[in-house]
Amino acid sequence: MDRYIMIIACVLRVVRCYSSGAVTEACDHMKPQHSVGAQQSPAPFSVATDRSSFKKGDEITVQLLADATPFIGFMLQARAVGGSSPLGSFTVTSGEAQLLTCNGLPKSAISHTSASPKFSIQGTWRAPISDDLNSIQFSVSFVKDFDTFWVGVRSSPVTFSVAAATPANSTSTPSTSTTSASSTAVFPSQSSLSISSAGCGSSKVCFSRPLNCNPGVSPDCYFLSATTSTRDTAIQLEMTGPSDGYIAIGFSDDQTMGNDDIFICGRDSNGIIQLQHAYSTGRTRPDMRPLGNVSDVKSSMKDGIISCSFTTMNPVSTQRSIRSSSPYYLMFAQGPTSNGEIRHHTSTFISDTKVDVSRPQLVTNAIRPPIIKAHGALMLIAWMTTGSLGMITARYLKGVAKGKGCCGKDVWFLAHVFLMTLTVAATIIAFILSFSHVRGWSGGAHPVLGCILMILAFFQPTAAMFRCGPQHHWRFLFNWSHALNAVAIKVLAVAAIFTGLSLIDSSEDKWLLKVMGGFVGWEATLYILLDVHMRWKRNDNKEGASDSACMELLLLVLFFLGNMAFLVALLVGIGMS
């Protein structure tokens, strides 16, 4: 029995060691001890470097990148081309990677720390200070699962140079493929870079504003082109357009900002054009990333026109996928810079459909359709005017024209039913318009809030139709549930409007959101005044019913006029978006 326990303990220890990446036994052959052979097919993973040459003591940023499927384990080494021993030393910052000692050389390899799925790992390799250095390659073993792994996936050779490699901020040799260990390559050349629409649709993908403009002829043309190699491993990108700061192109899984792979061509603090690689996580400043496997970079700025061209072999990386060639929405943006840092874009345009850059075509711009603008307008009208007035009428105006009405119903009740019917009808129409056009989910929390709002808004009048009589002993349950549901609907409506406006408000100062914030403050203030007046009326023993009714009507008119002012401002903003 003890023997079996020892065997199980040994097996568990081996499993634990492999999952934690402490695989120094595999330093020489770099083969996982999984009792199965390595895959012979091309690996869905790659290794990229941020430079193509190095000298003694140089640092090179290395990235391990996954395709659509993540890897769970890896081992990375730097070896001389044709060699079998590790060279140099690594540093890592991610908790998903750890340093190993191979062949007695500390920090000469990197491996995983757990079996969690990974799409990207980054490390920095420092070249040794030695007189017998040669060109190197980075060699990696990738583990997809226990039975599926690849050994010896190599980077492009990195050439050893005795002379100092050209740094990123050098002023020599303009319009070359110089890159740095960071995310930037800069180019002091200000000569004109020739980019035209020749070959659009036949040999390259073209995306422009105005549509089908030619940057070689029209100075106000924003233009992007993409040309793939015969093997579909490299993409040559060109972008140009008028800007006093930067232009940028992005690849995205959707038509909203966030989780986008971006290349930026703009001015640094010295006015020199630089190429940067970044990743957008939302509406904040993008996170800068190493340029990776980028070459043949050229740039220029002349007469306010910024132009860049380069070739990238980096897989496009978004939240949903990482691959070299796949359909993505194309984005183009331009804006100012401040001391070399990009500021919020002043204009953007996005492709109307996903684009496969390996298939030459002319790409058209996405235009926010009138049906979506109608959706927004109806929701604003419903929950900034009719819905608000209907709720105020039911809560504060029951004493106005009491006993007068039609069919035995008071005026306040008829007004409340009419206004809320309009509100629910407008909400239903807006809901149908949106989903009939989109036919899916996009926009984050906005459609979720809209669906919940639609359900509760439809439930409110339905439940009211089956309410018990005013004198029924269970009537208080309806009153409370009706009131609480109304409050929940109002809160959801405000949240849905805020999230909807955030999707279309591309202004730097977010003025649409500020107007909506002003509306919320205005409405809250009027609610407080009406509530104070109602409580004062209840505690007042004097005869002043007519004065009280006049005050209530005055506050109602004031409320309506204020709401209309905010509504018109937001409708104008939607029309201009």
Find the DSSP H helices in 1-44: 2-19
pLDDT of res. 283: 64
- Condensed to tens digits (0 to 9), the pLDDT of residues 538-576 reads 666 555 555 666 777 788 888 889 889 998 988 888 877
| pLDDT confidence band for 12 (50 / 70 / 90) | very low
CB 213 within 8 A of CB 373: no
pLDDT of res. 225: 93
Find the largest Cα–Cα distance for the chain. Answer: 105
- Condensed to tens digits (0 to 9), the pLDDT of residues 152-164 reads 898 888 888 765 4
Cα separation, 261 vs 47, whole angstroms: 18
Specify the amino acid at residue 112. Answer: H
What secondary structure does DSSP assign to 167-235, as a single string?
PTT--SSSSS----SSSEEEE---S------TTBTTTBEEEEESTT--TTT-TT-EEEEEEE-TTS--E
Mean pLDDT of 104-129: 90
Tokens for 470, please give them: 């005013």
Strands 105-112 and 97-102: antiparallel
Burial 318-340 (b: 16+ CB within 10 A, else e): beebbbbebebbbbbbbbbbeeb
Instruction: Find residue 295's DSSP bridge partners.
Output: 311
- Condensed to tens digits (0 to 9), the pLDDT of residues 129-146 reads 877 788 899 999 999 998
Cα separation, 272 vs 262, whole angstroms: 20
Of the ranges 278-287, 327-336, 348-357, 381-390, which one carries the lowest mean pLDDT score?
278-287
Cα separation, 76 vs 21, whole angstroms: 11
pLDDT of res. 120: 85
Domain ranges of the chain: 2-160, 184-363, 370-576
Tokens for 443, please give them: 């926009």
| pLDDT confidence band for 325 (50 / 70 / 90) | low
CB 184 within 8 A of CB 168: yes
Question: Residue 390: which of 359, 368, 413, 364 has the closest Cα?
Answer: 413
pLDDT higher than 90, residue 75: yes
Mean pLDDT of 75-89: 90
Q: Which top CATH class is 370-576?
A: mainly alpha
Q: What are phi and psi of 162, to 5 degrees?
A: -65, -40
pLDDT higher than 70, residue 71: yes
Assigned CATH topology for domain 184-363 = Immunoglobulin-like (2.60.40)
pLDDT of res. 182: 45
Q: What is the DSSP letter of 386?
A: I
pLDDT higher than 80, residue 256: no
Mean pLDDT of 444-449: 80
pLDDT of res. 169: 34
pLDDT of res. 125: 94
Share of the chain above pLDDT 70, in %: 81
Alpha carbon 46 to chain centroid distance?
24
Mean pLDDT of 87-94: 89
Cα separation, 482 vs 463, whole angstroms: 8
Q: How many CB atoms lie within 10 A of CB 13?
A: 10
pLDDT higher than 90, residue 436: no
- Condensed to tens digits (0 to 9), the pLDDT of residues 474-524 reads 888 888 888 898 889 999 999 988 888 877 765 556 788 889 999 999 988
pLDDT of res. 186: 44
Q: Which residue has the higher pLDDT, 360 or 161?
A: 360
pLDDT of res. 290: 81
Q: How many CB atoms lie within 10 A of CB 176?
A: 16
Q: What are phi and psi of 360, to 5 degrees?
A: -55, 135
Cα separation, 451 vs 427, whole angstroms: 10
Angle subtended at Cα 389 by Cα 384 and Cα 391, rounded to the nearest 5 degrees: 105
Averaged pLDDT of the chain: 80
Mean pLDDT of 343-352: 83
Q: Which top CATH class is 2-160?
A: mainly beta
Mean pLDDT of 367-372: 70
pLDDT higher than 60, residue 269: yes
Instruction: Find residue 38's DSSP bridge partners.
Output: none
Judge whether 184-363 and 370-576 match in fold.
no
Tokens for 513, please give them: 């959101």
pLDDT higher than 90, residue 306: yes
Burial 69-97 (b: 16+ CB within 10 A, else e): ebbbbbbbbbbbeeeeebbbbbebeeebb
pLDDT higher than 50, residue 354: yes
| pLDDT confidence band for 231 (50 / 70 / 90) | low
pLDDT of res. 264: 93
Q: Is 369 helix (H, G, I), strand (E, B) or coil?
A: coil
Mean pLDDT of 10-39: 67
Of the ranges 306-320, 321-335, 412-426, which one carries the lowest mean pLDDT score?
321-335
